[in-house]
Amino acid sequence: MVRTRPLKVALLGCGVVGSQVARLMTTHADDLAARVGAPVELAGIAVRRAGRSREGVPGELVTTDALGLVTREDVDVVVEVIGGIEPARSLLAAAFEAGASVVTANKALLAEDGPTLHAFAEKHQADLYFEAAVAAAIPLVRPLRESLAGDKVNRVLGIVNGTTNFILDRMESTGASYGEALAEATALGYAEADPTADVEGFDAASKAAILAGIAFHSRVRLEDVHREGITEVTAGDIASARRMGCTVKLLAICERAADGRSVTARVHPAMIPLSHPLASVREAYNAVFVEAESAGRLMFYGPGAGGAPTASAVLGDVVAACRNKLGGARGPGESAYAQLPVSPMGRVTTRYHISLDVADKPGVLAQVALSFAEHGVSIDTVRQQGKDGEASLVIVTHEATDAALGATVEALRRLDTVRDVASTMRVEGE
Amino acid sequence: MVRTRPLKVALLGCGVVGSQVARLMTTHADDLAARVGAPVELAGIAVRRAGRSREGVPGELVTTDALGLVTREDVDVVVEVIGGIEPARSLLAAAFEAGASVVTANKALLAEDGPTLHAFAEKHQADLYFEAAVAAAIPLVRPLRESLAGDKVNRVLGIVNGTTNFILDRMESTGASYGEALAEATALGYAEADPTADVEGFDAASKAAILAGIAFHSRVRLEDVHREGITEVTAGDIASARRMGCTVKLLAICERAADGRSVTARVHPAMIPLSHPLASVREAYNAVFVEAESAGRLMFYGPGAGGAPTASAVLGDVVAACRNKLGGARGPGESAYAQLPVSPMGRVTTRYHISLDVADKPGVLAQVALSFAEHGVSIDTVRQQGKDGEASLVIVTHEATDAALGATVEALRRLDTVRDVASTMRVEGE
């Protein structure tokens, strides 16, 4: 150990994740020192409200002066686990200005304003690590930024939000309604009191933006990601999926267009075959497929949330940032040289599962089929079911652009013989 | 791009992997340059026999003077994909002496003499990267060395040899004998003409040694790894596994002892439940579970062999090594500070599945049960089957040390009433 003074880490936030980071930095101090090559110490822990006692967290380190902490001269690395846009952004800007490297778990900030953070890191020749921002301890950011740095990633597809996966899993396994499953998730601590960020897909969309950006070496922001949550998914959708050998999952899908000149990123519920590995991802687990030109199809699986797993990812990055500080080196910076534009959702090709309530009379199917044909959408299978003078049609299409599928559904709604377009859902993973 | 001269890569070997590395370095030169921050060029390709034409490989770069190539002053990174101990070891030693960093896919050399290579890298302040040595493009080395650097890994368990997995998968799905399945694997190119390294478990054991070393921050060598191959696995074993809801896989298992003071590493066929995620790893795919204290249970899955996937892993490391060269930095060196000793196989606790051919007369089960009890091995289930005056007993034990289980089997062999210990196999993954 050449260096005399220890490396100092400032911790912003001491909630579920922060308290675990503080605990592990204390209990595993010897291992961290051996792996970094110098002692790693907590310089301080910034919290919003002082006075609360936090188990395993050294009280004398706690402060409410976050700005004072991150700008301290002796701080080498700032760990940010407070989340949200402000004050996180200002604090990280100040941290970079003061010469620190940054480790953050803040997916919202990265998806909203990642380039600004990267620019700060670049300007001050510091590190910006963010493994914990996507799928907690499942290594995804480092594999995409580093392991696959010599490859060409064509697709990232996976389950990146544990809360919604828990809800859909409960709906699937118990037949519960969305509301019932959400209530259970809330009671068990899987969903927050205000579940909007999860159930409306914002959390998954932020992660999709981050993954697409690093996978395609381009800038992808939250607003570029097509986003649909799971609040409209019904028990009927799940039963219908089951009838065709599928289940419903909230998927994040980032794809390079076939011509290689653009990318797409989207988050929406989709039916996937029960035989697909993602179908067996239960409860709050996450799993992500990465398809690369040379590597082939890789899958990463594990707990995608929680204090300890997220802290594990944070500490892995802290070790890297500390090693770099010690060696006068820098980890990988932003890589957006490819500058691929993000195409709108309408350009995505996908398949649809459509349930129609129709009049039970001759010629209805012909009329419906004509609507599909007029929009250039080819039908894969049709199932007709009669019930009490009414009938339902369940149609699964071949691949078509999302725009063509959307236009077809609009046209179906205008048909006299179609009483209701009961549900539409994309079909993936085949 | 600050640097004027391009970074130069010397390639040792131009077989299945090397030719892919050469091809990708040429076709993806622009991407590599953008990701590294400077052009990356092939300095030369060392082969054993010149003259052969190699598709997509620039003929003017080919040389038979490997030593001359790796000691060239302008070479920044040496990529070694020739395999085996010599001349690889001497060439890499010369490469380090000449100031180059090294990227290698050579699991045999790393498992036999990794510390020597690491010491060379340390002495010359160079990098030694080896993602491609384990499970091709599946990121495992980097996640263990870097992503989990702030965590405590307790267990690594997985399928790390594609050839044997293909053979066992065929035996399972078609009822083929070992010999038939091996013949098919050879015909399809999954097994080499001399399949010893794969089917006797040497390849998997090398990978287990590498994984255990980095997971436990200790030195683990090939000779420390308990090794059994698949040549003794019979169609009967697989049928027997199936009857108890299991399948047979060749597993590599690296574990930290419960008291944390030692580790074990082993490769052997084992029965695992069909419900275990590893049971559905088919054909030549690999999958590895990593269990860490904070991160929980992570799984990594993908193609574990092949030219392009291995080249992908090599190029990811080339990008890292080149970036470090450019920035005057170093990647992680050897981390063996924990110095945990490797316990012998006898200390491992596991479960056994034992098939006995016994005399069909009263009291046999009591006598057999007594043998287990005398060795302190507790029986989980017994299944008796009569056939033509003989009988068979199929016994599954609870967890016991491998030594106690081995001694029990020895004692059973000595019983008059036991005609044959038809098979013994460990049971894992529950």
pLDDT one-digit tens code per residue, B393-428: 999 999 999 999 999 999 999 999 999 999 999 999
Q: Which of A252, A254, A209 is nearest to A113 (CA)?
A: A209
Cis peptide before B87 (omega within 30 of 0): yes
Task: Mark whether B387 is an active-site residue.
Answer: no
The per-residue pLDDT for B59 is: 85
The per-residue pLDDT for A15 is: 92
How many of the other CB atoms lie within 10 Å of CB of A208? 32
- Does the residue A95 lie in any domain? yes
- Does the residue A221 lie in any domain? yes
CATH label of the domain that carries residue B203: 3.30.360.10
Interchain CB distance below 8 Å, A324 and B329: yes
Mean pLDDT of chain B: 94
Q: Are residues A386 and A294 in the same domain?
A: no
Q: Could you report how far apart the first and last alpha carbons of chain A are, in Å? A: 53
- Does the residue A373 lie in any domain? yes
Chain A neighbors of B295, CB-CB under 8 A: 136-138, 302-303, 308-309, 312-313
For residue B80, the enclosing domain spans 7-136+307-327
Q: Are residues B290 and B168 in the same domain?
A: yes
Tell me, what amino acid is at A341? Answer: P
The per-residue pLDDT for B244 is: 87
Chain B neighbors of A330, CB-CB under 8 A: 327, 329
Summarize pLDDT for B16-53 with one digit per residue, the tens: 999 999 999 999 999 999 999 999 999 999 999 877 77
Joined together, the tokens standing for residue A358 give: 């129709």
Q: Which of B17, B25, B146, B289 to mutate to test the interface with A (most CBs of A within 10 A)?
A: B146
The per-residue pLDDT for B50 is: 77
Mapped onto helix, strand or coil, the DSSP state of residue A122 is helix
Interchain CB distance below 8 Å, B142 and A139: yes
Q: Are residues B298 and B406 in the same domain?
A: no
Interchain CB distance below 8 Å, B137 and A143: no
CA angle (A158 as vertex; A156, A159 as ends), nearest 5: 150
CATH label of the domain that carries residue A355: 3.30.70.260
Inter-residue contact B116 to B86 (CB < 8 Å)? no
pLDDT at B54 over 80: no
Domain boundary among A240, A269, A303: A303
CA angle (A30 as vertex; A26, A32 as ends), nearest 5: 80
Summarize pLDDT for B271-328 with one digit per residue, the tens: 999 989 899 899 989 999 999 999 999 999 999 889 999 999 999 999 999 999 999 8
Q: Are residues A29 and A128 in the same domain?
A: yes
Q: Are residues A218 and A352 in the same domain?
A: no
- Does the residue B340 lie in any domain? no
Tell me, what amino acid is at A409? Answer: V
Tell me whether residue A363 is annotated as binding: no
Pick from A143, A296, A318: CB nearest B303: A296
Alpha carbon distance A33, A323 (integer Å):
10
The per-residue pLDDT for B1 is: 43
**Taken in order B271, B277, B281, B285, is the CA torsion positive or negative?**
negative
Summarize pLDDT for B155-208 with one digit per residue, the tens: 999 999 999 999 999 999 999 999 999 999 999 999 999 999 999 999 999 999
Q: Are residues B252 and B280 in the same domain?
A: yes
Tell me whether residue A19 is annotated as binding: yes
Q: Are residues B292 and B254 in the same domain?
A: yes
Tell me, what amino acid is at A184? Answer: E
- Does the residue A89 lie in any domain? yes
Chain A neighbors of B150, CB-CB under 8 A: 24, 28, 32, 35, 311-312, 314-319
Q: What is the DSSP annotation of A301-316? A: EEE--SHHHHHHHHHH
Helix (H) or strand (E) holding B21: helix B16-27
Interchain CB distance below 8 Å, A146 and B142: yes
Joined together, the tokens standing for residue B100 give: 């180059």
Q: What is the ipTM metric for this complex?
A: 0.94
Tell me whether residue A14 is annotated as binding: yes
Cis peptide before A87 (omega within 30 of 0): yes
**B122-137: average pLDDT:** 96
Helix (H) or strand (E) holding B381: strand B379-387
Work out the minimum CA distance from B216 to partner chain A, whole angstroms: 11
Q: Are residues A174 and A238 in the same domain?
A: yes
Alpha helices in A269-363 (DSSP H): 307-327
Inter-residue contact B86 to B196 (CB < 8 Å)? no
CA distances from A364 to A376, A392, A416, B62 (A): 19, 11, 10, 69
Alpha carbon distance B246, B278 (integer Å):
11
Q: Which of A30, A148, A312 to mutate to test the interface with B (most CBs of B within 10 A)?
A: A312
Interchain CB distance below 8 Å, A320 and B146: yes
Mapped onto helix, strand or coil, the DSSP state of residue A424 is strand
Chain A neighbors of B321, CB-CB under 8 A: none
Work out the minimum CA distance from B313 to partner chain A, whole angstroms: 6
Alpha carbon distance B201, B269 (integer Å):
9
Inter-residue contact A318 to A188 (CB < 8 Å)? no
Alpha carbon distance A179, A184 (integer Å):
9
Bridge-based pairing of strands B7-12 and A418-427 is unpaired
Q: Where are the beta strands (DSSP E) in A118-194?
A: 128-129, 153-159
Tell me, what amino acid is at B93? Answer: A
Which residue in the block uniquely carries the two structure tokens 């939000």?
Answer: A161
CATH label of the domain that carries residue B14: 3.40.50.720
Alpha carbon distance B82, B310 (integer Å):
13
Q: Are residues A187 and A298 in the same domain?
A: yes
Alpha carbon distance A200, A232 (integer Å):
10
Interchain CB distance below 8 Å, B292 and A315: no
Interchain CB distance below 8 Å, B301 and A299: yes
Choose, from B8, B207, B249, B325, the residue flagged as catalytic.
Answer: B207
The residues near A149 (Cβ < 8 Å, ≥ 6 apart) are A332, B35, B315, B316, B319, B320
Domains contained in chain B, number: 3
Q: Any idea what DSSP says for residue A342?
A: B
Alpha carbon distance A405, A243 (integer Å):
22
Tell me whether residue A141 is annotated as binding: no
Q: Are residues B56 and B94 in the same domain?
A: yes
- Does the residue B192 lie in any domain? yes
Helix (H) or strand (E) holding A408: helix A402-414
Alpha carbon distance B286, B409 (integer Å):
32
Q: With a cut of 50, which residues of chain A have pLDDT below it? A: 1-3
Bridge-based pairing of strands B153-159 and B128-129 is unpaired
Q: Any idea what DSSP says for residue B1?
A: -
Q: Are residues B131 and B266 in the same domain?
A: no
Q: How many helical (H) and strand (E) elements, i.e. helices and strands, does chain B have?
A: 14, 17
- Does the residue B333 lie in any domain? no
Interchain CB distance below 8 Å, A312 and B143: no
Mapped onto helix, strand or coil, the DSSP state of residue B121 is helix
CA distances from A281 to A276, A420, B25, B247 (A): 10, 33, 37, 21
Helix axes A107-123, A88-97, angle to 10 degrees: 20
Work out the minimum CA distance from B89 to partner chain A, whole angstroms: 24
Q: Any idea what DSSP says for residue B279?
A: G
Choose, from A8, A123, A152, A207, the residue flagged as catalytic.
Answer: A207
Chain A neighbors of B151, CB-CB under 8 A: 137, 312, 315-316
Inter-residue contact A100 to A10 (CB < 8 Å)? yes
Q: Are residues A55 and A37 in the same domain?
A: yes
Bridge-based pairing of strands A226-227 and A128-129 is unpaired
